[in-house]
């Protein structure tokens, strides 16, 4: 493997790890609220979260190009950060990935939280367990399997991201040139041999990750 490929590999790993970490953090309260809250706007938020599942990456890429750029609504923030645009940078890709992989993390967690029996929580409450105590001692351990699903799907889906990165990445080695883009570039420039190595590697990785997931006795995947 040449330096550029290694760089792409490392960059993709960093991006997927950071994206998954952020997603697990923000998805936990969001999924909890979606599963157990009964606000009138629940279905609205749920639809919003699921949008990346059905929208073509071109739509997301197009709007990110505008929203994260110097003609978008984030200009005050960009000025404060001293940046002209968030596109074509690692931070921009991170924002894009978090949006794009959101449903893959929120939906398993939501299902896990929905499965927790309310009487059990009520009983714990009657014995004096606080809200947080109930969450950390009952809800979280019971949702472990769903956290694993969310982790694997969030990570692999970020690794597999292509269309959005093609539109807001700018293909900068070491900064935005992720694996999928590197493979695309190899195929387009007729370097089929190199493309085969990376493509087969990615195929095996994703396959292995999914086998790991399905090997455990688990309820059907929500996505």
Partner 1 sequence: MLSYNIFKRPTLKFIKSATGLVLAIFIYLDGQVAVAQPTIKVAVAANFQPTLQRLADLYSARTNQKILISSASSGKHFAQINHGAGYDLFLSADVKRAELLQQQNNIQVLARKTYAYGLLAWACNTPCSNYAIQTNSLPSAAEFSQWDIALANSNLAPYGSASEQYLANHYLKPRKKIRAENIRQTFQFLLSGNVDLALVAKSNAVAFYSDRLHSYQIISPNEYPAIEQQMVLLNNKGLGFFHFILSATARDIIQLNGYLVPAASRQGD
Q: Give the footprint of partner 1 on this chain (CB under 8 A).
A: 65-66, 69-71, 84-85, 87-88, 166-167, 170-172, 184-185, 187-190
In whole angstroms, how far apart are CA 23 and each of 96, 103, 153? Answer: 12, 10, 11
Under a CB-based contact definition with an 8 Å cutoff, are residues 34 and 46 in contact?
Answer: yes
CA–CA separation, 88 vs 86, rounded Å? 7
Compute the chain's Rg from CA coordinates.
Answer: 20
Q: Which is nearer to partner 1, 7 or 142 (CB)?
A: 7
Q: Which is nearer to partner 1, 105 or 167 (CB)?
A: 167
Smallest gap from residue 177 Cβ to partner 1 (A): 9
Separate counts of helices (H) and strands (E) for the chain? 12, 0
Smallest gap from residue 53 Cβ to partner 1 (A): 25
Smallest gap from residue 82 Cβ to partner 1 (A): 13
List CB contacts of 97: < 8 A, sequence separation 6 or more: 15, 16, 19, 158, 161, 164
Q: Which is nearer to partner 1, 76 or 128 (CB)?
A: 76
Smallest gap from residue 8 Cβ to partner 1 (A): 13
Q: Which is nearer to partner 1, 66 or 117 (CB)?
A: 66
């Amino acid at each position: 493997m040449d330096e550029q490929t290694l760089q792409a590999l490392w960059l993709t790993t960093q991006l997927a790890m950071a994206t998954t970490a952020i997603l697990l953090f923000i998805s936990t309260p969001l999924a909890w609220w979606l599963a157990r809250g009964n606000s009138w706007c629940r279905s609205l938020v749920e639809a919003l979260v699921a949008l990346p599942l059905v929208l073509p990456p071109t739509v997301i890429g197009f709007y990110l190009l505008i929203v994260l750029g110097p003609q978008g609504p984030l200009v005050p923030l960009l000025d404060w950060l001293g940046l002209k645009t968030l596109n074509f940078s690692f931070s921009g890709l991170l924002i894009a990935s978090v949006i794009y992989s959101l449903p893959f993390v929120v939906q398993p967690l939501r299902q896990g939280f929905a499965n927790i029996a309310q009487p059990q929580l009520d009983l714990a409450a009657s014995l004096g367990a606080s809200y947080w105590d109930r969450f950390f001692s009952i809800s979280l351990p019971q949702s472990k399997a769903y956290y694993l699903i969310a982790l694997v799907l969030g990570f692999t889906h970020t690794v597999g991201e292509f269309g959005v990165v093609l539109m807001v990445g700018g293909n900068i080695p070491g900064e935005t040139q992720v694996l999928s883009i590197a493979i695309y570039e190899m195929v387009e420039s007729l370097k089929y041999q190199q493309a085969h190595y990376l493509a087969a590697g990615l195929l095996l990785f994703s396959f292995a990750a999914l086998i790991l997931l399905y090997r455990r006795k688990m309820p059907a995947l929500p996505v």
